[in-house]
Amino acid sequence: MATTNFPSAPPKRRRIGVLTSGGDAPGMNGAVRAVVRMAIHSDCEAYAVFEGYEGLVNGGDMIRQLHWEDVRGWLSRGGTLIGSARCMSFRQRPGRLRAAKNMILRGIDALVVCGGDGSLTGADVFRSEWPGLLEELVKTGELTEEQVKPYTVLNIVGLVGSIDNDMSGTDATIGCYSSLTRICDAVDDVFDTAFSHQRGFVIEVMGRHCGWLALMSAISTGADWLFIPEMPPRDGWEDDMCGIITKNRQERGKRRTIVIVAEGAQDRHLNKITSSRVKDILTERLGLDTRTTVLGHTQRGGPACAYDRWLSTLQGVEAVRAVLEMTPESPSPVITIRENKIMRTPLMDAVKATQEVTSHIKNKDFATAMTLRDSEFKEYHYAYLNTATPDHPKLNLPEEKRMRIAIINVGAPAGGMNQASRAAVAYCLTRGHTPIAIHNGFPGLIRHHADKPVSSVREVRWVETDAWVNEGGSDIGTNRGLPSEDIDTTAKCFKTYKFDALFVVGGFEAFTAVSQLRQAREKYDAFKIPMVVLPATISNNVPGTEYSLGSDTCLNALIDFCDCIRQSASSSRRRVFVIETQGGKSGYIATTAGLSVGAVAVYIPEEGIDIKMLARDIDFLRDNFARDKGANRAGKIIMRNETASSTYTTQVIADMIKEEAKGRFESRAAVPGHFQQGGKPSPMDRIRALRMAIKCLMHLESYAGKSKEEIAADEMSATVIGVKGSQVLFSAMGGESGLEANETDWARRRPKAEFWLQLQDTVNILSGRSGSKATWSCYEDDDRIQAPSPHP
């Protein structure tokens, strides 16, 4: 029987559905928000399907239009506000038949699905069956030919939402870094007690088929031993584990012992390795006072971290673009990320590769399972093994290849500096190099040589670096001073201490310092050694990279700050906060933070601020508060970089808004200042510090045995490591195509081309600030303003 209570004519605007399915994950709400707003911006309508495929099968009130303001504040909410469920009936064709009918009745022919590989497989099956489902619906009289005619093709786009990070083809899934943050917070909390009592802790983390969370938490917390499903330990692992832990404790003086066990950990015969078994082994064999902590569902909860907020936002935007660009022939895409680049991959290729890993593990073919994991995962695993304990006789280099490697931190402190130094020390010891810390940057080195009572240059022992694993700032001390302050003495020091290589962790000053040393090579032989900069600065303004250590920690600090401040508005009324961010002459932090908190506007030095802009934005705010009744209780945020304008300071802007609002809303200025350097580094900064530091050290050691002249002639002997698009690359500082001459805006202390500038458009689109066809104009023929409750 044909259903008549819906019009058969297609709707005026294209309708895009969005659903979250499978296990929930922090960041899913950010994805739904971005899909809804981007769809509206693109002149489409957005429909949420509540409770995953259950809503699609049941229809009725479970599929509802979402409007611009319905998703306000969703970025900071954990879980999924449109609900998720496992749905048995969608696994069967009759269930999908009902789902198809429900979609057609609402005029929806595109679906963005955020879930794991199961959910995405379901979506793809649905798409492939779509023509047959429509045919059947017409044949059985459920729908008329006329009703189905406009919807012959179903567009499916996948977003991967999963805390496990178990999908092949993407570096990260929406939710995995938030979950890692929960784990690291919990382990950081037991650190002190483990240290005080010299205890052992066995921590069990989620991951039935994928060891990503376990591996990354092991790296982030300096675990002594790790169990992951895809790389079971060799037989006799009990002895191996006890041997290493004993060595770490007795010979090296480590006071705390951490073992991380993935939920799906197993031995090579597929026997489960449980956390309680590991605890018993440590207790019985080593007499170690050991406690077990099974983290369970705390790993799923809580608000999304900064990375998940901007990832879900950018991927949601990309999903809508993909829907609009798809042709009937194009395979369903899944939106992925490689390093720093949002990409599209055929959905079923990614699902197939993911499922292959699981089946290889089941067949005990662990080597193949590991090769099918993403290259990033393998690199992290290699980096962890090389640094968890410096005890790898096979990795020791012959005497003539061993180097004296100096480690120095330059510039303002940034999260990840300690972790990079720690990784460098461990890697040096593993390979037989001598790690030498220079304390307090170049001024520390120069002072030391002047024979003051300081000891700024010294070899570092592994156990000293143990505590650095989760500490913020720079333990060896960092300083903005440059070698040019006394280049002569700097050269003398390099010679005296026989540095064979230099590893510099820091921001724009670190870049400048290496540039000075490189240019002074003509005069000083001592600088004819390989040098590499690992960028670490919250400003993220180092040429040669799109990502600097510390920037993620800073973003997390900023979103915490903004969440708190915004919450305070819910008990007052109609408030706009103008928040001043650091970042020097680079608007990166302001923009990315703006994207992650859903700022109304972001003011950056690259664009400046003028009176017209302010007038427009005040009008926009006035309009916003007037139309959107729900906004009364939601604080709005404007981000302003500290150098965006010398006239329109943060306070001046706040005062102007207040004045112009004429009592309809008010405004406050807030300056988080050094709070932005963060407390403990974020897990992302910790793990990237390790991986990048080891790449740097590998690069440095490739120069072992080369003559000074050979080194000086090689442009890659003074480099910056960086993320560029989807790759991690070294870029030469000097030479015709080098960073110094081509990519550096020396006056403004930032790269000439800033990759993130285009994100400004996304911030504007999602806040509705762009003015054009976004937001309010779409309500002109629609008198509803009442927001629906999140759940039916």
The crossing angle, in degrees rounded to 10, of helices 275-286 and 237-246 is 60
430 CB-contact burial (10 Å; exposed 0-12 / middle 13-18 / buried 19+): buried
Buried b (16+ CB within 10 A) or exposed e, 737-762: ebbbeebbeeeebbbeebbbeebbeb
For the CA atoms of 648, 653, 656, 658, the dihedral, rounded to the nearest 10 degrees, stands at: -170
Q: How far is CA 281 from the centre of its chain?
A: 36
In sequence order, which residues have a C-beta less than 8 Å from that of residue 47 and are 6 or more positions away?
15, 16, 17, 18, 63, 64, 65, 66, 106, 108
Among 30, 116, 232, 751, binds ligand ADP (CB under 6 A): 116
SS3 category, 267: coil
Q: Does 86 bind ligand ADP (CB under 6 A)?
A: yes
Nearest residue by C-beta to ligand ADP?
Answer: 118
Buried b (16+ CB within 10 A) or exposed e, 597-619: bbbbbbbbbbbebeeeebeebbe
Q: How far is CA 54 from the centre of its chain?
A: 31
Q: Is 575 annotated as a binding residue?
A: yes
Q: Are 261 and 170 in contact (CB under 8 A)?
A: no
Nearer to ligand ADP by Cβ, of 162 and 515: the residue is 162
Nearer to ligand ADP by Cβ, of 90 and 427: the residue is 90
**Cα separation, 382 vs 619, whole angstroms:** 55
Q: Nearest distance from residue 58's CB to ligand ADP, in Å? A: 12
Nearer to ligand ADP by Cβ, of 23 and 316: the residue is 23
Q: Is 663 annotated as a binding residue?
A: no
Residue recorded with tokens 């240059």: 457
**Cα separation, 708 vs 554, whole angstroms:** 39
Return the range that interacts with ligand ADP (CB under 6 A); candidates 62-70, 115-123, 254-262, 616-624. Answer: 115-123
Nearer to ligand ADP by Cβ, of 118 and 735: the residue is 118
SS3 category, 392: coil
List the x/- string, 542-581, binding to ligand ADP by CB under 6 A.
----------------------------------------
3-state helix, strand, coil in the chain (%, to 5): 50, 15, 35
Beta strand 200-205 with 718-724 is: unpaired
**Cα separation, 176 vs 167, whole angstroms:** 11
List the x/- string, 44-73, binding to ligand ADP by CB under 6 A.
---------x--------------------
Kindly determine how many residues on this chain lie close enough to bind ligand ADP according to the rule CB under 6 A: 17
Q: Is 727 annotated as a binding residue?
A: no
Nearer to ligand ADP by Cβ, of 162 and 479: the residue is 162
Q: Is 540 annotated as a binding residue?
A: yes
Return the range that interacts with ligand ADP (CB under 6 A); candidates 118-126, 272-280, 328-336, 421-429. Answer: 118-126
Q: Are 119 and 52 in contact (CB under 8 A)?
A: yes
Q: Nearest distance from residue 117's CB to ligand ADP, in Å? A: 5
Q: Are 16 and 39 in contact (CB under 8 A)?
A: yes
* Residue of 164, 486, 500, 628 marked catalytic: 164
Residue recorded with tokens 């007038």: 615
Based on the residue annotation, tell me whether 109 is a catalytic residue of this protein: no
Q: Are 318 and 344 in contact (CB under 8 A)?
A: yes
Subset of 121-160 contacting ligand ADP (CB under 6 A): 121-122, 125
Q: Nearest distance from residue 181's CB to ligand ADP, in Å? A: 20
Among 8, 14, 17, 21, binds ligand ADP (CB under 6 A): 21
Q: Is 677 annotated as a binding residue?
A: yes
**Cα separation, 596 vs 639, whole angstroms:** 11
Q: DSSP states of 638-667 as a string?
A: EEEETTS-SSS-HHHHHHHHHHHHTTSSEE
Q: Nearest distance from residue 300's CB to ligand ADP, in Å? A: 12
Nearer to ligand ADP by Cβ, of 22 and 472: the residue is 22
**Cα separation, 194 vs 556, whole angstroms:** 27
Q: Nearest distance from residue 270's CB to ligand ADP, in Å? A: 21
Residue recorded with tokens 């740097």: 696
Nearer to ligand ADP by Cβ, of 82 and 436: the residue is 82
Among 17, 22, 79, 333, binds ligand ADP (CB under 6 A): 22
Residue recorded with tokens 């739904």: 32
Beta strand 257-262 with 63-66 is: unpaired
Residue recorded with tokens 């009902």: 98
Nearer to ligand ADP by Cβ, of 123 and 621: the residue is 123
Nearer to ligand ADP by Cβ, of 86 and 627: the residue is 86
Q: Is 297 annotated as a binding residue?
A: yes
Q: Does 593 bind ligand ADP (CB under 6 A)?
A: no
Q: Nearest distance from residue 778's CB to ligand ADP, in Å? A: 32
Return the range that interacts with ligand ADP (CB under 6 A); candidates 19-27, 601-609, 712-720, 741-749. Answer: 19-27
Nearer to ligand ADP by Cβ, of 80 and 512: the residue is 80
Q: Nearest distance from residue 161's CB to ligand ADP, in Å? A: 8
**DSSP-assigned letter for residue 168:** T
Q: Nearest distance from residue 89's CB to ligand ADP, in Å? A: 8
The crossing angle, in degrees rounded to 10, of helices 683-701 and 212-221 is 80
- Give just the sign of the alpha carbon dihedral 705, 708, 713, 714: positive
Q: Does 115 bind ligand ADP (CB under 6 A)?
A: yes
Q: Is 116 annotated as a binding residue?
A: yes
How distant, in Å, are the alpha carbons of 57, 432, 632, 635, 771 from that of 621? Answer: 40, 61, 12, 11, 12
Among 10, 11, 118, 346, binds ligand ADP (CB under 6 A): 118
Q: Does 87 bind ligand ADP (CB under 6 A)?
A: yes
Return the range that interacts with ligand ADP (CB under 6 A); candidates 113-121, 342-350, 664-672, 773-781. Answer: 113-121
For the CA atoms of 442, 641, 559, 771, the dihedral, rounded to the nearest 10 degrees, stands at: -150
Q: Is 404 annotated as a binding residue?
A: no
Return the range that interacts with ligand ADP (CB under 6 A); candidates 86-94, 308-316, 444-452, 516-524. Answer: 86-94
Q: Nearest distance from residue 265's CB to ligand ADP, in Å? A: 20
Q: Nearest distance from residue 325's CB to ligand ADP, in Å? A: 25
Copy the structure tokens of residue 560: 């915490």
Among 119, 178, 470, 581, binds ligand ADP (CB under 6 A): 119
Nearer to ligand ADP by Cβ, of 174 and 621: the residue is 174
Residue recorded with tokens 């300096």: 222
Q: Is 584 annotated as a binding residue?
A: yes
**Cα separation, 267 vs 357, whole angstroms:** 16
Q: Nearest distance from residue 164's CB to ligand ADP, in Å? A: 9
Q: Does 90 bind ligand ADP (CB under 6 A)?
A: yes
Nearer to ligand ADP by Cβ, of 358 and 645: the residue is 358
In sequence order, which residues have a C-beta less than 8 Å from that of residue 622 and are 6 or more positions away?
660, 661, 664, 665
Among 13, 72, 77, 91, binds ligand ADP (CB under 6 A): 91
Q: Does 23 bind ligand ADP (CB under 6 A)?
A: yes
For the CA atoms of 165, 168, 170, 172, the dihedral, rounded to the nearest 10 degrees, stands at: 10
Q: Nearest distance from residue 708's CB to ligand ADP, in Å? A: 56
Q: Which residues are annotated as a binding site for beta-D-fructose 2,6-bisphosphate?
A: 480, 537-541, 575, 582-584, 642, 668, 674-677, 749
Site residues for ligand ADP per CB under 6 A:
21-23, 53, 86-87, 90-91, 115-119, 121-122, 125, 162
Q: Which residues are annotated as a binding site for Mg(2+)?
A: 117
Q: Which residues are annotated as a binding site for ATP?
A: 23, 86-87, 116-119
Residues forming the active site: 164
Q: Which residues are annotated as a binding site?
A: 23, 86-87, 116-119, 162-164, 199, 206-208, 263, 291, 297-300, 480, 537-541, 575, 582-584, 642, 668, 674-677, 749
